[in-house]
A = this chain, B = another copy of it.
Amino acid sequence: MTDERLAGKSLDGVVDGLRARGLRWTPQRRAILRVLEATSGHVTGSEIVDQCRQLDPMTTPSTVYRTLRVLEELGVLQHAHAADGREEFHVRPAAEHGHLQCQSCGSRWEIDRAGAQPTVRSFRRRQGFEVDVSHLTIVGLCAACRRAATATP
Measuring CB to CB, which residues of chain A are less than 8 angstroms from any residue of chain B?
Answer: 81, 83-87, 100, 102-103, 109, 115, 117-119, 121-123, 126-132, 135-136, 138-143, 146
Contact = CB atoms under 8 A, between A and B. Distances in A.
Contacts of A102: 129
By secondary structure, the A interface counts as: mixed
A138 B131 contact: yes
Given A85-B86, A87-B85, A129 B140 contact: yes
Contacts of A128: 142-143, 146
Contacts of A135: 83, 103, 139-140
B127 A109 contact: yes
B103 A129 contact: no
A115 B124 CA distance: 11
